[in-house]
């Protein structure tokens, strides 16, 4: 879903947006439990009917007969992926149904998979079931919901789970491990397991959290993860994701702040324009002075008689703009610096 959506944001092909919507429709129609959480996966084949024949049918014909079986486990990781994807599609389309579904699933995971130590259990809310992938995916989901809604509780949870990742999954030898080896483990079982894709995602998350929340410790943790990725590259492994992580570590994200009350339609229109900016490496904030200072209050914004958007870099900002059509223009200027 996110790949199709990014393609649409880059080239404007409506077929890409339609494909993203189709994935969301499948997710909502077939993969959502009555309580709002998302199931894990669906097989390709419908009994004796192979997937190539089943999916060649139109929608009505597929629904009329036996369906490919669904794994009805509800894991924190897969829910995090679904939540972040639905939030990203909402950012572009403004379809309220998408964000409502994302928030409902997020709240379900929070209640049903949050372990006592703060991490996310894979299939149950237990410390012995927490894994890097689950906490990481939900931290990414929280950051995506913060971008979609500007509600600070989501950023606070992303920060909390970032701290859990650093505390519980940091491998002293470099990078981040799936989980701590069991006490008394011997041989290969005593060696921490590190997943490459999870380490790429952890580095990117921690670096963005460092910028979004002004937490230097997250930056240091991201550099720790990067050293592990570098060691793999030295062994001639091809890691495209590591290039993204390295690029993001080496530069500030595009940074747009909307200044205005959250019940002001003009401020909301500016924010809705800002959140469609086509990159995940993006620092977006909505300063409603009634809520107090921003989490990373590194820029002093002027008092203005109307809602405005600013694009900032290295503590300096553009002149304010007041029209949603100008928001991307000022964001590009700081992004291309």
Delimit the domains of the chain by residue range: 254-335
Residue range 297-331, pLDDT digits in tens: 889 999 999 999 999 987 788 999 999 999 999 99
Instruction: Report the distance separating Cα 257 and Cα 36, nearest Å.
Output: 32
What's the confidence (pLDDT) of residue 337?
67
Crossing angle of helices 240-249 and 216-234, in 10° steps, is: 140
What's the confidence (pLDDT) of residue 285?
97
What's the confidence (pLDDT) of residue 146?
98
- By the 10 Å C-beta count (0-12 exposed, 13-18 middle, 19+ buried), 29 is classed as exposed
Task: Report DSSP letters for 53-98, one per residue.
Answer: HHTTS-HHHHHHS----EE----HHHHHHHHHHHHHHHHHH--HHH
Share of the chain above pLDDT 90, in %: 84
Asked if 38 contacts 31 with a C-beta cutoff of 8 angstroms, the reply is yes
Higher pLDDT, 207 or 129: 207
Q: Which of these, 234, 237, 236, 217, lies nearest to 170 by C-alpha position? A: 217
The arrangement of secondary structure in 254-335, i.e. its CATH architecture, is 3-Layer(aba) Sandwich (3.40)
Mean residue pLDDT across the chain: 94
What's the confidence (pLDDT) of residue 133?
98
Instruction: Please identify which residue in the block is written with the tokens 């309220």.
Output: 96
pTM above 0.85, yes or no: yes
Average pLDDT over residues 283-290: 97
Asked if 290 contacts 261 with a C-beta cutoff of 8 angstroms, the reply is yes
Average pLDDT over residues 200-208: 98
- By the 10 Å C-beta count (0-12 exposed, 13-18 middle, 19+ buried), 179 is classed as buried
Q: Is 241 helix (H, G, I), strand (E, B) or coil?
A: helix
Instruction: Report the distance separating Cα 115 and Cα 218, nearest Å.
Output: 22
What's the confidence (pLDDT) of residue 314?
77
Q: Name residues whose C-beta falls within 8 Å of residue 105's C-beta, 6 or more positions apart in sequence.
A: 32, 36, 37, 38, 79, 82, 83, 86
Residue range 12-58, pLDDT digits in tens: 999 999 999 999 999 999 999 999 999 999 999 998 899 999 989 99
Instruction: Report the distance separating Cα 67 and Cα 61, nearest Å.
Output: 11
Instruction: Report the distance separating Cα 50 and Cα 12, nearest Å.
Output: 34
Instruction: Report the distance separating Cα 174 and Cα 113, nearest Å.
Output: 28
Residue range 259-274, pLDDT digits in tens: 999 999 999 999 999 9
What's the confidence (pLDDT) of residue 98?
98
Residue range 82-139, pLDDT digits in tens: 999 999 999 999 999 999 999 999 999 999 999 999 999 999 999 889 999 999 999 9
């Amino acid at each position: 879903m996110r790949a199709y959506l990014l393609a649409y944001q880059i080239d404007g092909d409506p077929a890409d947006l339609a494909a993203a919507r189709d994935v969301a429709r499948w997710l909502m129609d077939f993969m959502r439990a009555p309580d709002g959480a998302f199931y894990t996966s669906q097989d390709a084949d419908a009994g004796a009917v192979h997937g190539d024949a089943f999916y060649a049918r139109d929608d009505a014909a597929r629904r009329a007969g036996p369906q490919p079986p669904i794994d009805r486990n509800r894991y924190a990781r897969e829910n995090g992926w679904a939540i972040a994807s639905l939030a990203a599609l909402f950012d572009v389309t403004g379809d309220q149904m998408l964000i409502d579904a994302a928030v409902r699933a997020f709240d379900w995971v929070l209640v049903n998979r949050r372990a006592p130590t703060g991490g996310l259990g894979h299939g149950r809310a237990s410390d012995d079931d927490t894994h890097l992938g689950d906490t990481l995916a939900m931290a990414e989901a929280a950051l995506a919901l913060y971008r979609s809604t500007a509600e600070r509780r989501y950023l606070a949870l992303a920060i909390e789970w970032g701290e859990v990742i650093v505390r519980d999954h940091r491998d002293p030898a470099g990078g981040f491990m799936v989980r701590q080896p069991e006490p008394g483990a011997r041989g290969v079982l005593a060696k921490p397991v590190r997943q490459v894709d999870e380490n790429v995602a952890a580095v990117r998350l921690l670096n963005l959290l460092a910028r979004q929340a002004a937490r230097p410790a997250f930056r240091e943790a991201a550099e720790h993860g990067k050293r592990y990725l570098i060691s793999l590259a030295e062994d001639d492994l091809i890691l495209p994701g590591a290039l993204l992580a390295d690029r993001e570590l080496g530069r500030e994200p595009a940074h747009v702040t909307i200044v205005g009350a959250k019940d002001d339609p003009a401020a909301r229109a500016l924010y809705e324009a800002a959140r469609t900016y086509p990159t995940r490496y993006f620092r977006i904030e909505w300063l409603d002075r009634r809520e107090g200072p921003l989490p990373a209050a590194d820029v002093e914004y002027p008092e203005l008689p109307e809602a405005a958007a600013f694009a900032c870099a290295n503590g300096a900002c553009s002149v304010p703009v007041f029209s949603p059509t100008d928001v991307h223009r000022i964001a590009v200027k700081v992004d291309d610096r």
